[in-house]
Structure 1
Amino acid sequence: MDSNTEVLLGWRAGLHGWDALVERYSRLVWSVPRSFRLSHTDAADVYQCTWLCLAEHLTRLRRPEHLGAWLVRTATRQSIAVVRARGREVSFDLWEPESALPAPEEVVLTNDRQRRLWAALMTLNERCQRLLRIAAHSPELSYAQVADALGIKVGSVGSTRTRCLADLRRKLGDLR
């Protein structure tokens, strides 16, 4: 597989590097707006805007080896902008048949579990939050891709994830 630098240089020279970049980072870019729990439509907008920003700034990238981190930062900024624009709207799919709706007690229990999980997650440091969001929304990513997105060493991804999960479990236990 070509390095980001080779792919970017190839794209600038008119070769087909863009497709390789999209294929390499597509799941990572998608994981960011989904980690913000955006609707599919809003997540698609963030995804598209992130790639558009890359196309606009491609010639100004100084460190192509950190492209994954750049894409995550850009998608994060785009996601935050959407969240701010939408406020705390909750969208309901009005076309869903009533039989598919969960029982009220299931909704209450699920909402309580999610509230406790998010409350515990938000008490973790930013590195752990980002790592766990990527792991939850894009489990198929390799350690190298996760390390690139977070700007950490590949060898520390597993141990960092283990520490973050242990910390999250402890904090969830404290919230009971």
Structure 2
Amino acid sequence: MADAVRAAAAGDRDAWDALVAGFGRLVFAIATAHRLSAADAAEVSQTTWLRLVENLDRISHPERLGGWLATTARRESLRLLRLHGREVLTEDESRLEPDDGGRVPTPRTPEAVMLDLDRDHRLWRAFAGLSERCQILLQLVVVVAPPYAEIAEVLGIPVGSIGPTRARCLDRLRRLLAADGMTSATGAY
């Protein structure tokens, strides 16, 4: 794939088409995993490919293009979700009524909020300590959840090795969390 990236950066249309064919479903799957509408997922996909065009000559590790595209698609999905904010478009006004019988939810304490933020920060720090391959695999398996055949194609590994590789990546994540003082015994994960 690295050769296709370099060729596409040099203007080779066939190489560009190969990149889109190879990673198009991944990009769209990440967008739809964020529960975007089909139109919004298409917009995220189009913007992701535009970002690649804008940065194609600056990709320092073309062999990691799948991870770059996955990260870009995730960021674009989150950006679009932020833009939409809390909009609720519906013709069914009953959907705007609270489902909790009118009860006001109990606010969370500042301590609970801080504990959750600390846990999340430590989790993402441990996740960043994983190899890029593990990060991509876990994002695909847990967040996007396409069929294993698609994951195998994107990562270039046999379908049968996805489960064991995922288990090794999760074990590594558990060890990183344990080294940071987060253990299942403490209820931290």
TM-score (norm 2): 0.56
Q: After TM superposition, what 4+ stretches of structure 1 lie above 6 angstroms from structure 2?
A: none
1:133 aligns with 2:138: no
- How many Å separate the matches in 2 of 1:53 and 1:47? 10
Distance 1:130 1:143, change over 3 A: closer
Larger radius of gyration: 2
- How many Å separate the matches in 1 of 2:30 and 2:62? 20
What is the percent sequence identity of the aligned residues?
38
Distance 1:159 1:59, change over 3 A: same
What are the Cα deviations for residues 136-164 of structure 1, in whole angstroms up to 9, with x where unaligned? Answer: 2455404251479xxxxx98632244686
What are the Cα deviations for residues 112-159 of structure 1, in whole angstroms up to 9, with x where unaligned? Answer: xxxxxxxxxxx997654542223x2455404251479xxxxx986322
1:59-98 correspondence to structure 2 within 5 Å: 59-92=57-90
1:1-176 correspondence to structure 2 within 5 Å: 4-11=1-8, 12-92=10-90, 127=135, 128=138, 130-134=140-144, 136-146=145-155, 157-161=162-166
- Report the number of matched residues: 133
- How many Å separate the matches in 2 of 1:10 and 1:156? 30
CA RMSD of aligned residues (A): 3.6
TM-score (norm 1): 0.60
SS of 1:141's partner is: helix
